[in-house]
């Protein structure tokens, strides 16, 4: 349970704004940043904007001293509104159009992730303006979301690509990896750090300009309906492995889910009910085409509860669209609900509204923000 809203407050918000709602608490964001900093001392964070691209999150993260992991020109435009220092941003999408590169450079972001030779060639015209991070692949069968299938070069390929970059006169600042998300242990993080250390040491031994950065990605777990280790336990082996890298290497990470997942809850209402196959079906005003889209795209199963007591029985929660795939839970224990009763989804800040659609031309949930940070007075940055 998130615990930042009482049931009474939930009812008040639903009565005031209607449903569906997604309620975001910026104080929880700040708490998550501090927890992760404690677990990963000495690591600089770049918030993965894709997880929840919302202005108040950008403002909160900036005021917490967190940088930004950008993956599109749209995300660049979002952070530009807050006069974010481009030096506190990195562009991590391994595959980019030429326009993406130009938009990033125009903004002032000059650090880019690449993972193959064709992508490296795109930066040759800008070689005096950019620094590259070479993404190395470390497939992780323990991760619920494995991010090494689509992107990343093998460690052996990394050595060849570093030689290619040297011949092209490209500046490779360091290495990058992402071992996937929602793993129950950090074994693959440790493996990746150690293998990257070998590559860095071998390269730097003979390099005129040594690599000076390691990006350890994200994937730090949160508890949905499955039990995950607490963040201190998960990160302890990572911190130990990072100590072996020495003090001259700049270590960064790209947390998204861990920072924003616990900071939001969904409030939906029952709009219809039916008895089918011996179970009660409850139709809600949000579903997997909306804020619950993470069940499709992110393989997440969110903790769900209602604000009503009574004997529970196997039930079905369905979304509001005409599509039969729009089912939130096939078999959930619930008391008998009536039209208008509220259903609460917990841990719904990450990859929920950011992956929602407009299918059936249904309105998306309204986002209510609590404890907004005050706007900071900033001078626009001139790149």
Angle at 131 between CA 125 and CA 134, to 5 degrees: 105
Query: In terms of DSSP H, where are the helices of the chain?
Result: 7-17, 26-39, 55-63, 73-80, 98-107, 117-122, 155-168, 187-204, 231-243, 257-260, 294-297
Tell the burial category of 248 from Cβ atoms under 10 Å away from its Cβ (0-12, 13-18, 19+). exposed
Rounded distance between C-alpha atoms, residue 181 and residue 201, angstroms? 27
**Residue 78 in tokens:** 């979002």
**Residue 168 in tokens:** 């092209």
336 near 280, Cβ under 8 Å?
yes
Rounded distance between C-alpha atoms, residue 86 and residue 108, angstroms? 5
26 is annotated as an active-site residue: no
Which of 109, 153, 306, 322 does the annotation list as catalytic? Answer: 322
Rounded distance between C-alpha atoms, residue 230 and residue 223, angstroms? 9
Rounded distance between C-alpha atoms, residue 89 and residue 324, angstroms? 41
Tracing tokens 């992760």 back to the chain, one arrives at: 36
Tell the burial category of 276 from Cβ atoms under 10 Å away from its Cβ (0-12, 13-18, 19+). exposed
249 near 212, Cβ under 8 Å?
yes
Residues annotated catalytic, as ranges: 322
């Amino acid at each position: 349970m998130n615990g930042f809203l009482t049931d009474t407050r939930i009812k008040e918000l639903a009565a005031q704004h209607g449903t569906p709602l997604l309620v975001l608490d910026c104080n929880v964001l700040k708490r998550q940043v501090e927890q992760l900093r404690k677990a990963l001392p000495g690591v600089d964070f770049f918030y993965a904007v894709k997880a929840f691209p919302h202005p108040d999150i950008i403002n909160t993260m900036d005021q917490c001293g967190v940088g930004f992991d950008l993956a599109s020109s749209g995300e660049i435009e979002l952070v530009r509104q807050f006069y974010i220092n481009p030096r506190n941003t990195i562009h991590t999408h391994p595959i980019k159009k030429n326009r993406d590169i130009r938009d990033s450079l125009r903004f002032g972001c000059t650090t880019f992730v690449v993972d193959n030779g064709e992508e490296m060639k795109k930066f040759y015209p800008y070689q005096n303006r950019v620094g590259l991070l070479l993404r190395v692949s470390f497939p992780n069968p323990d991760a619920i979301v494995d991010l090494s299938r689509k992107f990343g070069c093998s460690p052996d390929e990394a050595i060849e690509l570093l030689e290619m970059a040297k011949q092209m006169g490209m500046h490779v600042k360091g290495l990058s990896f992402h071992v996937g998300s929602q793993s129950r242990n950090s074994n693959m993080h440790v493996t990746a750090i150690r293998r990257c250390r070998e590559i860095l040491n071998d390269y730097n031994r003979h390099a005129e300009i040594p690599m000076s950065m390691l990006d350890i990605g994200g994937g730090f777990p949160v508890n949905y309906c499955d039990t995950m280790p607490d963040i201190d336990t998960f990160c302890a082996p990572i911190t130990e492995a990072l100590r072996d890298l020495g003090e001259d290497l700049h270590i960064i990470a790209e947390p998204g889910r861990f920072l924003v997942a616990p900071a939001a809850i969904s409030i939906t209402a029952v709009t219809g009910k039916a008895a089918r196959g011996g179970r009660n079906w409850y139709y809600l005003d949000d579903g997997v085409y909306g804020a619950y889209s993470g069940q499709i795209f992110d393989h997440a199963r969110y903790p769900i509860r209602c604000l009503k007591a009574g004997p529970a029985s196997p039930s079905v929660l369905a979304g509001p669209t005409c599509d039969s795939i729009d089912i939130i839970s096939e078999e959930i224990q619930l008391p008998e609900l009536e039209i208008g009763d509220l259903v609460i989804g917990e841990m719904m800040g990450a990859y929920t509204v950011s992956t929602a659609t407009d299918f059936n031309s249904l309105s998306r949930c309204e986002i209510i923000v609590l404890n907004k940070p005050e706007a900071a007075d900033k001078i626009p940055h001139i790149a």
